């Protein structure tokens, strides 16, 4: 992720359904939920502001009806917002002409949804190459590119298969490959793995992370599953009733929830999966001998056995290999039993 470089931003974005949504926002007014309901309208997205940084996986989550899917459709202009700005590399998408928007979607945006929408009469190769065909790319070039991304998602050798001959997980990989074929700068994924069984879902998450490490796309990812969110996200936005409640890293959400709603979301998360050594370390150089050096960014789940096995503390280091603190077995045990700072 490129810190500080914003690829996508939305400013005060609203989506209101009803007889006259624009009238509710006339003159820059900000209606409350009671006023919206009393006027016979429904607010799906209410005054949302977010910034998505280049190369980050930005997860939007909330319960059913929270507005997360409506928001991602507003960001891609599949749904027209009632008001606001949506800036993609500085260009306001709400001011883009239909022709400009088509070009952006063809060349710079990728989209993957829960339902794969593969064309049943086309092979894997033809499905993946289809967006390039729409762009007008010559057949040899588009098939070469399609083969590259098919290999990238682990489906090499299945180029001639039809969707009906593939498992659910394989079909989802075809959908991902198809969205990557045009080499998008910005990638929208709306609950892409929720229809899969748990084992395949975990495998697809692993595959998704592998592909992201290679490609470093800017990604907006929708899920209602907090375990999935903390596996994938650089940052998470929590929505409730169309309103953004908190944007933070997974660790910050668990340790410093903004309100009871966010706290309830994170209440059953195994903290060791989320909390890093940097969050529980004692700052400063260790007072004596240590058992070794561990990165501050390491999660407790991955380091617990090693730390608990030693009577000596471990030094904690930053990205520049400097010692910034130390951590011992008691601090780890406190997290594992949900006690203390963790």
Give me the domains of the chain, ranges plus CATH numbers.
54-72+96-271 (3.40.50.300), 272-336 (3.10.580.10)
Distances (CA, A) of 31 to 17, 82, 121, 147: 14, 13, 49, 51
- Distance in angstroms (rounded) separating the CA atoms of residues 240 and 329: 38
Tokens for 306? 């090693």
pLDDT at 341: 47
pLDDT at 3: 61
Instruction: Please give the DSSP secondary-structure letter assigned to residue 137.
Output: -
3-state secondary structure of 287: coil
Among 258, 337, 268, 248, residue whose Cα is nearest residue 300: 337
CB atoms within 10 A of CB 266: 18
CB atoms within 10 A of CB 233: 23
HSE value, Cβ hemisphere, 13 Å, CA-based, for 275:
26
Among 106, 104, 99, 176, residue whose Cα is nearest residue 134: 106
Q: Are 85 and 92 in contact (CB under 8 A)?
A: yes
Q: Are 1 and 12 in contact (CB under 8 A)?
A: no
Beta strand 323-327 pairing with 314-317? antiparallel
- Distance in angstroms (rounded) separating the CA atoms of residues 69 and 248: 19
pLDDT at 197: 82
Among 10, 194, 197, 222, residue whose Cα is nearest residue 115: 194
pLDDT at 342: 44
DSSP 27-96: GG----HHHHHHTT-EEEEEEEEEEEETT-EEEEE-STTSSHHHHHHHHTTSS--SEEEEEETTEEGGG-
Task: From first to last of the 342 residues of the chain, give the pLDDT tens digit.
Answer: 546 699 999 999 999 999 999 888 887 778 888 888 899 999 999 999 999 999 999 999 998 889 999 999 999 999 999 999 999 999 999 999 999 999 998 889 988 887 768 999 999 999 999 999 988 899 999 999 999 999 988 899 999 999 999 998 899 889 989 988 888 999 999 988 887 788 888 888 888 898 899 889 999 999 988 889 988 999 999 999 999 999 999 999 998 999 999 998 888 888 898 999 999 999 999 989 999 999 999 999 999 999 999 999 999 999 999 999 999 999 999 888 875 544
pLDDT at 339: 58
pLDDT at 60: 97
CB atoms within 10 A of CB 8: 24
Strand locations in the chain (E): 6-17, 42-53, 57-61, 83-88, 91-92, 109-113, 186-190, 218-223, 235-240, 243-248, 282-283, 293-295, 314-317, 323-327
Among 250, 218, 219, residue whose Cα is nearest residue 236: 250
Among 302, 256, 253, residue whose Cα is nearest residue 276: 302
- Distance in angstroms (rounded) separating the CA atoms of residues 332 and 272: 8
């Amino acid at each position: 992720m490129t810190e500080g470089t914003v690829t996508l931003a939305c400013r005060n974005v609203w989506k209101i359904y009803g007889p006259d949504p624009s009238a509710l926002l006339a003159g820059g007014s900000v209606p409350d939920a009671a006023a919206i309901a009393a006027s016979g309208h429904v607010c799906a997205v209410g005054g949302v502001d977010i910034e998505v940084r280049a190369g980050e996986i930005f997860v939007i989550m909330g319960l059913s009806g929270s507005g997360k899917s409506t928001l991602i459709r507003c960001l891609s202009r599949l749904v027209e917002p009632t008001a606001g700005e949506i800036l993609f590399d500085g260009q306001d998408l709400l001011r883009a002409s239909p022709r400009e928007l088509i070009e952006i979607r063809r060349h710079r945006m990728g989209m993957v949804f829960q339902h794969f929408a593969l064309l049943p009469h086309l092979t894997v190769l033809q499905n993946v190459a289809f967006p390039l065909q729409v762009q007008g790319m010559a057949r040899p070039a588009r098939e070469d590119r399609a083969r590259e991304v098919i290999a990238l998602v682990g489906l090499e050798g299945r180029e001639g298969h039809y969707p009906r001959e593939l498992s659910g997980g394989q079909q989802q990989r075809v959908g991902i490959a198809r969205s990557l074929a045009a080499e998008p700068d910005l990638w929208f994924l709306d609950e892409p793995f929720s229809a899969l069984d748990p084992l395949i879902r975990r495998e697809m998450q692993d595959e998704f992370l592998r592909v992201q490490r290679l490609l470093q796309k800017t990604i907006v990812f929708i899920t209602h599953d907090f375990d999935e969110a903390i596996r994938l996200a650089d940052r998470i936005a929590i929505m409730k009733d169309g309103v953004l409640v908190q944007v933070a890293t997974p660790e910050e959400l668990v340790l410093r929830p903004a309100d009871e709603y966010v706290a309830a979301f994170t209440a059953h998360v195994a903290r060791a999966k989320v909390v890093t050594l940097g969050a529980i370390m004692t700052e400063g150089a260790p007072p004596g001998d240590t058992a070794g050096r561990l990165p501050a960014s390491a999660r407790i789940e991955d380091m617990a056995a090693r730390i608990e096995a030693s009577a000596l503390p471990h030094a904690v280091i930053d990205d520049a290999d400097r010692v910034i603190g130390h951590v011992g077995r008691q601090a780890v045990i406190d997290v594992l039993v949900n006690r203390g700072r963790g």
